[in-house]
Every structure is written in structure tokens, then in C-alpha cells.
A and B are shown apart, each in its own frame.
Chain A
Amino acid sequence: MSYELPAAFEEFAAGRQSGFLRVKERKEQGGKVAGTFCAFTPVELLDAAGFLAASLCGMSNETIPIAETELPKNICPLVKSSYGFYLSDKCPYTYFADLIVGETTCDAKKKMYEMLGKGKNVYTLHLPQGIKAPYAKEQWISELHRFHDYLEEAFGVTITDDDLRKAAERRNEFRAARARMLNLLSADVPPVSGTELYAFLDGLGFVFDLDEAIKKVNDLADEMSKHVSDKVTPGGKRILVTGCPIGGVYKKAVGAIEANGANVVCYENCGGIKPLRNSVDLSNPDIYDALAEYYLHIGCSVMTPNEERLKMYPELFKEFKVDAVLDLDLQACHTYIIEGYTIKQLCKDYGVPYMQLETDYSEADAGQISTRIAAFLETLED
């Protein structure tokens, strides 16, 4: 008998659309909205300042042509799409945002934030590009303080250490709940397919009542863990998807994996498990120090060296019983594309087949992507 996903799951998966109305309502009641782009955004400060945080990452090809009237063509589609949403006013979250928070992660984003700042209220945090330098943590701590002071002054709020600690506790619970959902894929036959779960994870970027969401997501994880999905091919090869944020390409790529009889069992990306392996250490007496520790240990390829990412793989291989790795990178994402070579070597050391694909949001290469993925999966069967 086929297992139908619970209604609450579908509600979250539709979060990006349904969140519009909730945001509009909250705005009308005098609420404040912050747009975020990245796993490095210290959302605890936004929570403590009373903001609703919504994820603005551009995932659609639709807004790229308008973005290309101001941005070069040969850059990251996520950056172009995000900027296109602003230019075209097609994203209500961008439109309603009282504040947009950026971080100095990649070069394209950094310069795009400057342009976005001409029309929107943009605040950019300066993220250190590595954790080894002794001043890296100090820099990030002082950036967090600077952001705190900015929020207090610009929005007339008070954020105490205690508020921040409470926010961190809540975010820890939320991260743990998300991790539980991702861990559902570690089952031999999971209760949900990779594409379904990705839509769900995406929807969690538009959760505005954290306490309610934490409870619901945990309940879902309890309930779903008892079932198996008929959308998953039993015995299919188990694929770990890694690389760039894939919201704009997962249907094309993960769809091809599933259409060819394999299953995605782990998302290592920033929308997946990458920021969920650690939590904010609440036993640390200095909450800013605790936050800085947590954020700086996110294994993003903008960090040099990026040892945190490499550390994760052997654990993930084991936990998710991974047969092969697909590194899915967005056009012109230099750091992830180049780091692919290191990941390839690591996979080789562990005897795990690896393939890298570079793509964008268009459908132009859908046939090629599908052939490459099918051929890669065939090599696993041989």
C-alpha cells in the first residue's frame, strides 16, 4: 500500500508560497521582516530583535533575464536570480523586507549586495574567510556585536544576552528537528523521496513561528519514521548530493537520479545537513563567542582551508550508507567547483565513486545532465 505524506509535510513544502500571506499579515500588524541569503546569517540576532526571517535565495530562471540587464551573464545563477527578484519585484519577501542581511561569502554575492543596497536596506556582515587565523573568531564576534548595535539603533529594539541565548536555544531545537528529517533518508527504504524532502527543507526557510514548527517537524519525524515511501526505489543506489545550494536545480538533477532508479539519501549542501551537524554551545558563558564558534564551523567552500567540510564526509558515508557522491555545482561558483577536485580525491580514498556536474537554472542542458547522471549510475551497476 502506498504511503501518503502527512498534510503537515505538504504544508511546510508549500511554505515558500503560503508564507507570502503570513508575511503580509504580520507586516500589516506592524511586524518586521528580514530577508536572508545564507547559512551564515546569525538568525538568532534577528529572532531576538523580533524580525521574521525569510530566505531570499533566488531559485528561479524566470528572473535571470532582467538581472542580466545589470549583471554579467557568466556569473552564478543564484546571484542573478536573487537580484532579478529584486529588480522585478516578483519576490514578496524581498519586497516586504525591512532589512536584507548579507555576508561577505562569495565575490558575486558581495558585489550584488552593494547594488541591492541602492534600493533596499542592506546590512552586510564581514565573514572571515577561514577559521585558522587567531583573529578570525574575534573578527566574527565583533561583527556580531556590530550587527547587534545596528539592529538596536536602527529599529529601536533592545537585545539582551539573555534574549540571544533564548533565541539560540530555539534555533538549536529547530536545527535538530531539521536534522531529524534529513536523517529519515538514512533508512534502507526512507518514508520520503529526495525531491519531496528537498521541497520540504526549502519550505522551512519560511517558518515564522519557530516553537510551533519545532513541534510539528519533530512530530512529523516521529510519524514518518514508521513508514516507507513507494516513491523510493528499494535497493537503488544511495547517492549523497553535495556542492552549491541546489534549490534552483534539484528538480532537474535529483529528478534525473530518481528517474534512473537511484535515491538521494543525503544532502550535504547548505540547505541540507551542512549547517546542522553542530549547534550553538549554550554552556558557553559568552553567547557571542558561542554563536561565532557555531557559524565559523559551517563547512562552506568560501572558507580556506575548508577542513570542516572534509571532516563530514567519512561520517556521512557511514551514517547514510552512501554508494556514490554527486557534486552539483552552479555555473561560475569558483570555490565549490575548484574544491570539487579535493572532494573527488577524498571520495577516491574512501572508494566512493564521485561525479561533478556544473549547471545553471536553464533547461538547456537537461538532456545532457540526465545522460551524464544515467551513465554515472550505470558505472555503479557494472
Chain B
Amino acid sequence: MEKYSIGIDIGSTSAKTVVVDENKRIIFTDLQPTGWSSIETAEGIRKLLAEKGFDPAGAAKVIATGYGRISVPYATKTVTEISCHGKGAVQLFGKNNLTVIDIGGQDTKVISVVDGSVRDFLMNDKCSAGTGRFLEVMANSLGVSLPTLCDMAEQGGGVKISSMCTVFAESEVISLIGKGESRENIAYAVVASIIEKVVSQVGRLQGASTNYCLTGGLCDMEYIRASLEKALGFPVVTCPDARFAGALGAAIR
């Protein structure tokens, strides 16, 4: 059988696996919740890969990334998710100069890729402001799923959340609910707040390309992509495989 390489991206919310062939073409992907134990998740992935004919033991290389990267005992190397998202996005979008926006579960990264290599990056501080977790918590307070939150946000407007902190923003949302504000307007405010945070982060990346792309778990939330595009004033591209950008970047490194 031809040689294959494996990239495993264990994030705080979900674990992504990509297998590529010798020509760096994606031949297998898997997405599953990380759960409470990265070690067990990694073991589950190993078994799954073996079943599908991509036993890590027979791979050209197995590179682990994401915050759970150290929990993959069969990885031949670990690389940070920042480098991997950069590399993965270059391949996915076919451009060597990119600004990658990855809204992850526990952190949001903006990565400047120049000539195919990561030149600069910024991560949010040690709190969940502006992350996927922020959106999740807010969706929960509104009693809806994340896709529904985005659908509702599209119908709303006119309300603003000022707290960046997830805990404070949640109480702000609850008090808006109490005041009888419509869920659509609150959903709008929630998404607007995260977009604002990301745009300010992008602004701090110096000399970054205006070829924006969105990677990570929010890639199929069209409303998020469109809102980013509007706020940045430049096209923001994404694709269904963009959630695998980190794992792909690991596999092709």
C-alpha cells in the first residue's frame, strides 16, 4: 500500500484526524468530540485508523497538534496548532499569503502566513472571550444550538453586549432576556461581540494579507463568515474541510 501520513488535532472541543497520501491529498477525515480525556480520545482514534486501514504504526509520520497534542503517545512529533493551521490553510485555499482566522473552542488565533510560512500570530488571552466556547455558552443561555443562534442573529439587530468576559456577558444576556429583548436581537449582539473581538485582533497583526480565510469549527456558519467579511471589508473564504485545517497542516508537515 502507498505511504500515508496522519495528522491529529486534539482541540478543547473536538478531535480532528486527517490522513493524506503521498501527494498530500486528503484520503480520510474523522471528527469526534474530545470528551474529558484526550488520552482516551487519542486511543479511540488509533483504533479507528487501524480499522480503516491507516494504522498509525504503518504511517510515514503521525503528527499531533492542538492543546491535547501531548496526549497522543503514538505521534512521531508534536507541532503547535498555529503552524498547522497556517500550513493547512495554504493547502486548502491554494494561496501562499493568507491571514488565517481560527475561532477555536478555547482560543481564537489569527495567523499571518507570508510565502507559505507563518510570519506572525496572535492568540486571545487566558480567558474565553471571543472564542467558540463564548458562542456555545451564549447559545445555551438562549436555549438554542449554535447553528440556530446564527440563524436567529441574521434576523436581529440593534442590541449590543459590552462585556467581553464570557461570565459577565452571560449575565448580560440573561438580563437582556429578563428585559424581554427578542432572542434574535440578543443572538445578533452575541455574534457581533465575537466579530468585534476577532477584527481587533486581526488589526494588531502587522503587514498581514487581506486574503482572509476562516478555519476551525465555525467554518460552516455562513453568518459568521459573512459578518467577518462585512467587518473586515475584504472577502473571507472558507470551505467544509476548513475545520480540518489544523489536522491537515499536521499531516502534510
Interface residues of A (CB under 8 A from B): 348, 358, 364-365, 367-368, 371-372, 374-375, 378-379, 382
| Chain A interface, >50% SS class | helix
Q: Is A378 a contact of B82 with CB atoms below 8 Å?
A: yes
Our pick among B80, B107, B117, B125 for the contact of A374 (Cβ within 8 Å) is B80
Interface core residue of B80, B82, B125 (most chain A CB under 10 Å): B80
Our pick among B67, B120, B206 for the contact of A367 (Cβ within 8 Å) is B67
CA distance A367 to B123 in the complex (A): 13
Interface core residue of B79, B83, B107, B206 (most chain A CB under 10 Å): B83
Q: Is A368 a contact of B83 with CB atoms below 8 Å?
A: no
B179 at the A interface (CB under 8 A): no
B225 at the A interface (CB under 8 A): no
Nearest-neighbor residue (CB-CB) of B106 within chain A: A368
Q: Is B80 a contact of A368 with CB atoms below 8 Å?
A: no
Decide yes or no: A379 and B126 within 8 Å by CB, A367-B67, A368-B107, A371-B67 being known contacts.
no
CA distance A187 to B81 in the complex (A): 33
B119 at the A interface (CB under 8 A): yes
What are the residues of chain A within 8 A of B67 when measuring CB–CB?
Answer: 367, 371
B121 at the A interface (CB under 8 A): yes
Q: Is B118 a contact of A364 with CB atoms below 8 Å?
A: no
Decide yes or no: A379 and B79 within 8 Å by CB, A365-B126, A368-B107, A368-B126 being known contacts.
no
Q: Is A375 a contact of B80 with CB atoms below 8 Å?
A: yes
What does the 1/0 interface line of B128-145 toward A look like (CB < 8 Å)?
Answer: 000000000000000000
Nearest-neighbor residue (CB-CB) of A358 within chain B: B125
Decide yes or no: A368 and B123 within 8 Å by CB, A375-B118, A378-B118 being known contacts.
yes
Nearest-neighbor residue (CB-CB) of A379 within chain B: B118
Q: How far is the CB of B118 from chain A (nearest CB, A)?
A: 5
What are the residues of chain B within 8 A of A375 when measuring CB–CB?
Answer: 80-83, 118, 121
Our pick among A364, A365, A378 for the contact of B83 (Cβ within 8 Å) is A378
Q: Is B119 a contact of A379 with CB atoms below 8 Å?
A: yes
Known: A375-B83, A379-B117, A382-B118. 18 other contacts (CB 8 A): A358-B125, A367-B67, A368-B107, A371-B80, A371-B81, A371-B123, A375-B80, A375-B81, A375-B82, A375-B118, A375-B121, A378-B79, A378-B83, A378-B118, A379-B120, A379-B121, A382-B83, A382-B117
Q: How far is the CB of B110 from chain A (nearest CB, A)?
A: 12
Interface core residue of A358, A364, A372 (most chain B CB under 10 Å): A372
Q: Is B126 a contact of A364 with CB atoms below 8 Å?
A: yes
